[in-house]
Homo-oligomer: A and B are copies of this chain.
Amino acid sequence: MAGKLQKVSESACFGGVQGVYTFASDTCACDMTFGLYLPPQAKDGSVPVLWYLSGLTCTHENAMVKAGAQGWAARHGLALVFPDTSPRGQEVADDAAYDLGQGAGFYVDATQDPWAAHYRMETHVARELPDVVAAHFPLDMDRQGITGHSMGGHGALTLALRNPGRYRSVSAFAPITAPGRVAWGQKALRAYLGGDETAWRAHDTVALIEDGHRLDEILVDQGTADQFLDSGLKPELLAEACRKAGIPLTLTLREGYDHSYFFVATFMEAHVAWAAGRLKA
């Protein structure tokens, strides 16, 4: 697997290289594509890694071209990895809705048909892809951080909570904090994990914290004009869970910002700096 990485493209970018690569994923049983940014510092040795998990409807490409992260990553000497959000292909189960199926993997390993054959995004992002990028690029895998937007914020928080010590920095932009309590999350978790809601709690940030999982600290930014704020994101549930658990949460409500990449780009500098401060310490 790790030996058959194919280059889709490589472009010079802020002194480093923005690449797109694909490989035959054993985990997802289909070809999987990802973006990887190597900063200029990677020419001189291995660099820390910041994972960026994207939201519903996104591929590996959206954040890579819209989030403006590479300039800050170059400044701090971090690599960036942009995974896809689901398995892809004609043979992969799908749904006409934007919040289920391709583009909507929710960073879980599905146990239910027809999804279980390919939808193993937790293993893909937390196990398979780290092995692949470590084998091919000068990355210091002892210094990994994770962030993400919306469904990808949910992914960043849950993967960090489920893999203690793995990610030295954890942040999110407008994350889905409690998928088990909002419509799009319930729909996806029911489809992928089945009707037993106890199984959902292992993939729900607020429930994971309620059930005793911990992080050292979390950075979250959330726009107050976000169209999904009350219906799908619910930062107040995260704030309450962190308060009860004693997890330091830096949650900033950004007046007037919506759910778009204009919001993400605006606060990217701060999230990359947050990661750099913890990965390079």
- Interface residues of chain A, those whose CB is within 8 Å of chain B, are 11-15, 18, 65-66, 68, 70-71, 223, 225, 254-258, 260-263, 265-266, 269
A12-B263, A13-B262, A223-B12 are contacts. A71–B70 as well, Cβ < 8 Å?
Answer: no
CB distance from A271 to the nearest CB of B (A): 14
The answer on a CB contact under 8 Å between A258 and B11 is yes
Partner of A266, one of B65, B71, B260, B261: B71
Question: Within 8 Å CB of A70, what residues of B?
Answer: 262, 265
The answer on a CB contact under 8 Å between B18 and A262 is yes
Question: Within 8 Å CB of A266, what residues of B?
Answer: 12-15, 71
CB distance from A222 to the nearest CB of B (A): 13
Shortest 10 CB-CB contacts between residues of A and residues of B: A13-B262, A11-B262, A12-B256, A12-B257, A68-B68, A14-B266, A11-B260, A65-B66, A18-B262, A11-B258
CB distance from A61 to the nearest CB of B (A): 11
In the bound complex, what is the Cα–Cα distance between A255 and B16 (angstroms)? 11
In the bound complex, what is the Cα–Cα distance between A32 and B260 (angstroms)? 23
In the bound complex, what is the Cα–Cα distance between A225 and B14 (angstroms)? 15
Name 8 A/B residue pairs within 8 A (Cβ), A-sorted.
Answer: A11-B263, A12-B255, A12-B256, A12-B258, A13-B263, A65-B65, A70-B265, A71-B266
Question: Within 8 Å CB of A260, what residues of B?
Answer: 11
CB distance from A42 to the nearest CB of B (A): 14
The answer on a CB contact under 8 Å between A71 and B265 is yes
Chain B residue nearest to A37 in the complex (CB): B262
Chain B residue nearest to A68 in the complex (CB): B68
